[in-house]
């Protein structure tokens, strides 16, 4: 009798194991998270005006605190709230958050991209976390004239199943004040490897965060991002302001499909540390141009390496184009910090922050003339 029961239960156990393995294998693919653009609406019975009244009212999301479900065109006083992706977004009030459980591949790096817009508060910050990592992203600076910007944040998945949380840490007198959130997406990051021909990792910025297809403002890589969990693998943002990650679908890019726009003058610096041999001469070569986004005027990119620096002027017509530049330097240590920044602030006619584009960078060892004669 026991033997028969075991034999009959074996297929059921096998099916359960198969389903379990399939569930673990179904890691989220690159692109929007399930209902990442919030187009799947809560039931009318779970809304009180715009306020979400139930923790699981928004499909695929869990909400805590004062969260509003906002339709594009919603009026707040004299302000008309627009939504960049689809027709709906959410607003996070005081200490409010949204979260979603993600099936990922343990040991893999990922970058989260999302759009945010400041509403009535002046100093807003968002805490984004995937256990055990977290980061605080400042959103008080509006880089575009629309008020919407896309941000990214990277992490290493320590588990196959994690919880992503976006939390508004602000406290305002009006609980309805808080940032709008829309278009939450994810992208797998493949850390680039060094080559003998180039000491820089991710030299042409092809590896980076997901760029939202229906937006025209790129993705901001936040300030004070270190290279261990950078959404732009290999690179750090050593500054008070962000740099902008752009793609060839929406901008002019000197090489490949991706590049970086330095949008905040000397307050947005892009850096990478390379291994060098003290006393050896190296050449840092790179492209300087404009994004073809109407950013006009006299631009200057400054590059630093060891004790050397170069200023590369570029006259932008705002229609695209670039020039090549080179900085020769002699290494003074086993590690050399390479830095790019824009000398000046630039804005478009509509007030959008913009600046010169940097792309296709490389650091290579060069032989001295006396060594070549031998």
Closest Cα partner for 116 from 136, 98, 90? 90
Domain 268-373 CATH superfamily: Galactose-binding domain-like (2.60.120.260)
Mean pLDDT of 77-84: 76
Same fold, 31-189 and 268-373: yes
- C-alpha 161, offset from chain centre: 22
Q: What's the pLDDT at 226?
A: 65
Q: How confident is the model at residue 337 (pLDDT cuts 50, 70, 90)?
A: very high
Domain locations in the chain as residue ranges:
31-189, 268-373
Tokens 């000398």 — which residue? 343
Residue 114 has pLDDT above 70, yes or no: yes
pLDDT value of residue 227: 62
Give the pLDDT band (50/70/90) at residue 83: confident
Q: 13 pLDDT band (50/70/90 cuts)?
A: very low
What is the pLDDT, as a whole number, of residue 78? 67
Q: Which residues contact 114 (CB under 8 A, 6 or more apart)?
A: 150, 151, 152, 166, 181, 182, 183, 184, 185
The percentage of the chain sitting over the pLDDT mark of 90, rounded to a whole number, equals: 68
Query: What are the tens digits of pLDDT across the range 151-203?
Result: 999 999 999 999 999 999 877 777 778 899 999 999 999 988 877 789 999 99
Quick one: average pLDDT of 313-338? Answer: 97
Read off the pLDDT band of 228 (50, 70, 90).
low
Q: 329 forms bridges with which residues in the sheet?
A: 282
pLDDT above 70 covers a percentage of the chain that reads 89
Rounded to two decimals, what is the model's pTM? 0.88
Q: Which one is predicted more confidently, 280 or 225?
A: 280
Provide CATH code, domain 31-189: 2.60.120.260
CA 3 – CA 216 distance, rounded (Å): 66
Where does the pLDDT of residue 23 fall: very low under 50, low under 70, confident under 90, or very high at 90 and above? very low
Q: Decide the pairing of beta strands 133-138 and 125-130.
A: antiparallel
Both structure tokens of 208: 């980076």
């Amino acid at each position: 009798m026991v033997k028969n029961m075991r034999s009959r239960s074996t297929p059921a156990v096998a099916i359960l194991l198969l389903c379990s393995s399939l569930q673990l294998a179904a890691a989220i693919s690159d692109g929007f998270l399930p209902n990442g653009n919030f187009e799947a609406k809560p039931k009318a019975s779970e809304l009180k005006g715009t306020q979400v009244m139930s923790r699981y009212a928004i499909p695929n999301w869990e909400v805590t605190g004062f969260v509003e479900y906002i339709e594009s065109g919603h009026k707040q006083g004299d302000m008309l709230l627009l939504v960049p992706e689809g027709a709906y977004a959410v607003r996070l009030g005081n200490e409010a958050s949204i979260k979603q459980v993600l099936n990922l591949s343990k040991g893999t790096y990922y970058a989260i991209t999302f759009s945010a817009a400041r509403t009535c508060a002046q100093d807003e910050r968002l805490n984004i976390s995937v256990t055990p990592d977290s980061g605080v992203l400042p959103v008080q600076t509006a880089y575009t004239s629309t008020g919407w910007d896309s941000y990214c944040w990277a992490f290493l998945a320590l588990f196959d199943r994690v919880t992503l949380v976006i939390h508004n840490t602000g406290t305002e007198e009006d609980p309805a004040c808080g940032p709008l959130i829309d278009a939450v997406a994810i992208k797998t990051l493949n850390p680039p490897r060094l080559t003998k021909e180039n000491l820089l990792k991710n030299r042409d910025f092809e590896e980076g965060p997901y760029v939202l297809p229906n937006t025209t403002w790129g993705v901001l890589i936040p300030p004070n991002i270190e290279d261990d969990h950078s959404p732009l693998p290999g690179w750090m943002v050593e500054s008070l302001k962000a740099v902008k990650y752009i793609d060839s679908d929406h901008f002019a890019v000197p090489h490949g499909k991706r590049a970086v726009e330095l949008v905040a003058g000397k307050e947005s610096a892009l850096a990478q540390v390379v291994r060098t041999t003290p006393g050896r001469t190296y050449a840092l070569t790179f492209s300087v141009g404009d994004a073809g986004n109407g950013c006009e005027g006299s631009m200057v990119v400054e590059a630093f390496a060891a004790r050397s620096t170069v200023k590369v002027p570029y006259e932008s017509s705002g229609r695209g184009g670039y020039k090549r530049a080179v900085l020769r330097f002699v290494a003074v240590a086993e590690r050399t910090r390479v830095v790019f920044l824009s000398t000046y602030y630039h804005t478009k006619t509509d007030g959008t922050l913009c600046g010169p584009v940097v792309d296709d960078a490389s650091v290579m060892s060069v032989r001295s003339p006396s060594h070549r004669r031998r």
